[in-house]
Amino acid sequence: MGLATLADRHRRASTNGPLSSDTIRLVDRPRSALIPAGGYSDGRHDGEKGLRVIVTLPWGERLGGAEAMLQSILDGVAQTPHEFELVFFQDGPWAAELARAGFRVEVIPSGRFREAHRWLLTVARLAKLLRKRRPDVVLNWSAKTQLYGSPAAVLSGMPKRVVWWQQGIPEPDFWLDRLATRLPAAAVGCYSHAAARAQAQLPPGRPTVVIPAGAGEPPSEEPPAAIDLPANVPVVGVVGRLQPWKGQDRVLRAQALLRDRGHRLHLVIVGGDAYGLSSDYAASLEPLARELGLAQDVTMTGQVPDAGPFIERMDVMVNASDPEPFGIVLLEAMARGVAVLAVDSGGPAEFIRDGVSGCLARSGEPADLADALERLLDDATLRSRVAAAGRESYRREFTERALRERFFAALQCTRSPRESGSSAG
């Protein structure tokens, strides 16, 4: 079955009602005979024919969940027969890291999209590379790189080999998502059904494939972060870049509401203004904490290389993004047995069962966040129960191994162009 056919089945299922169990097995929870449950530990692939995949990336640095997802996939490539090559449109430490790891890496500086001559030059250079490499799949890892990768694939005679990844939940009037969707693609990858439904509404309604994310197992002896925290006070954490859509300000306001209700907690905000994406917002959070009278009850760590040790210090992790495309950081908390709270929308609403494996707030507004968090603060038994269930949910469905099985099973559906002997896409 080709990827476009499989994706089209998913599109019809997701728009007409709940997915059939067959679709879920193929796309979301594969039980593929092509990839043994334990992976390929001995370097042999039982005669399986590998695919050549070229991945285009907008920048050479790891900015967040999108890069973490791809890195998890790349870490498993050596256990498959597939060949991955990375094309970065901006140089950086991640590009150099992957080159050192043995991947073939190309850097084609793209400049700004609005500079037409730079766009044309980038597309031409990428098309030349595609004609030389003849990949089975051109995987554009964002809407931005779809604007380069798809035209290059068309020029190279392989438009049906294009897949691009929708990293968010698209808004119907956002020009970048609309333009990316207009360009040829066999399918659009999404992390959640919420993202897939929104993506399917953009004309011309490209097929979508849902592959939920995964997260790595915590190190067996991960030491907690050495930060001063008050004794006998619940520690609530927020992890992520300091950007308005992440909602750190709304969590601060929820904390103030809870204080006024008689609940003291200590808030740990993990993250910084990575790459200057929202400098004004990042600079506003400490003054807001002082204005709310919370300065002594908030710790801001700034940018950290690894959030794991800080998550170890938390009793509850809050994700206030509304909507959140998926929320890999929630999986990182669940893997560590930390109770999680998210908004009842987007990706988290699909993998967190309210009151069972976590808690869901009605919205990302401070009052609704405070109401949901109050449940966990009032009931230590509930907090322990959802933490344990969350850890089991992670181990059952959201490990890196599970992610790779989902991804590589879907990737197998792209083998038809090369097997048919066609040189065009």
Asked, for residue 29, whether it belongs to a domain, the answer is: yes
The pLDDT value given to residue 48: 65
* For residues 249-267, average pLDDT: 97
Which CATH number covers residue 352?
Answer: 3.40.50.2000
Q: Which residues pair with 187 in a beta bridge?
A: 163
What does the alpha-carbon distance between residue 123 and residue 89 come to, in Å, rounded to a whole number? 11
Q: Which two tokens stand for residue 26?
A: 């193929």
Q: Is residue 7 domain-shared with residue 153, that is, in the same domain?
A: yes
Q: What is the pLDDT of residue 415?
A: 55
Let me know whether 387 and 406 are in one domain: no
Q: How confident is the model at residue 138 (pLDDT cuts 50, 70, 90)?
A: very high
State in Å, rounded, how far the first CA of the chain is from the last one.
Answer: 16
Q: Is residue 225 part of a domain?
A: no
Q: Do 176 and 74 belong together in one domain?
A: yes
Q: Looking at residue 334, what is its pLDDT?
A: 98
Mean pLDDT of the chain: 87
Do the domain assignments include residue 186? yes
pLDDT of residue 10 exceeding 80, the answer is no
DSSP state string for 67-135: HHHHHHHHTTGGGSS-EEEEEESS--HHHHHHHHTT-EEEE-----TT-HHHHHHHHHHHHHHHHHH--
343 and 414 co-located in one domain: no
3-state secondary structure of 173: coil
Residues sharing a CB contact under 8 Å with residue 51, sequence separation 6 or more, in sequence order: 81, 82, 83, 136, 137, 411, 412, 414, 415, 418
CB 417 within 8 A of CB 410: no
Angle at 238 between CA 236 and CA 242, to 5 degrees: 150
Using an 8 Å Cβ cutoff, are 339 and 257 in contact? no
Q: Does one domain contain both 253 and 209?
A: no
Half-sphere exposure of 155 (CA within 13 A, CB side): 18
Same-domain pairing of 374 and 268: yes
**pLDDT over 60 (residue 44):** no
- The verdict on 63 and 84 lying in the same domain is yes
Higher pLDDT, 418 or 296: 296
Full-model pTM: 0.85
Count of domains forming the chain: 2
pLDDT computed for residue 7 by the predictor: 44
Q: Are 79 and 50 in contact, with CB atoms under 8 Å apart? A: no
Residue 424 lies in a domain: no
Domain that holds residue 187: 3-214+400-419
Among the ranges given (201-205, 388-392, 411-415), the one the predictor scored with the smallest mean pLDDT: 411-415
User: How large a percentage of the chain has pLDDT more than 90?
Assistant: 79
Residues 171 and 312 in one domain: no
Q: Which of 45-49, 156-160, 322-326 has the lowest mean pLDDT?
A: 45-49
341 pLDDT higher than 90 = yes
Q: How confident is the model at residue 40, as a pLDDT?
A: 31
Q: Same domain for 355 and 206?
A: no
Flag whether 50 is in a domain: yes
**Axis-axis angle for helices 143-155, 175-182 (nearest 10):** 20
- The answer as to whether 219 is a domain residue is no
Kindly state whether residue 222 falls inside one of the protein's structural domains. no
Task: Give residue-wise pLDDT tens across range 57-102.
Answer: 998 988 788 999 999 999 999 999 999 999 999 999 999 999 999 9
Express as a percent the part of the chain with pLDDT over 70. Answer: 86
Residues ≥6 apart with Cβ < 8 Å to 68: 62, 215, 328
Are 72 and 19 found together in one domain? yes
- Judgement on whether residues 248 and 352 belong to the same structural domain of the protein: yes
Tell me the C-alpha to C-alpha distance, in Å, between residue 382 and each of 7, 374, 406.
39, 11, 32
Strand order across the beta sheet in which 52-57 lies: 104-107, 83-88, 52-57, 137-140, 162-165, 187-190, 208-210
Query: What is the pLDDT averaged over residues 25-33?
Result: 29
74, 164: one domain: yes
Q: Rounded mean pLDDT of 194-220?
A: 95
In a domain, 230, yes or no: no
Do 375 and 411 contact (CB within 8 A), yes or no? no
Strands (E), 264-419: 266-270, 298-302, 316-318, 339-343, 359-361
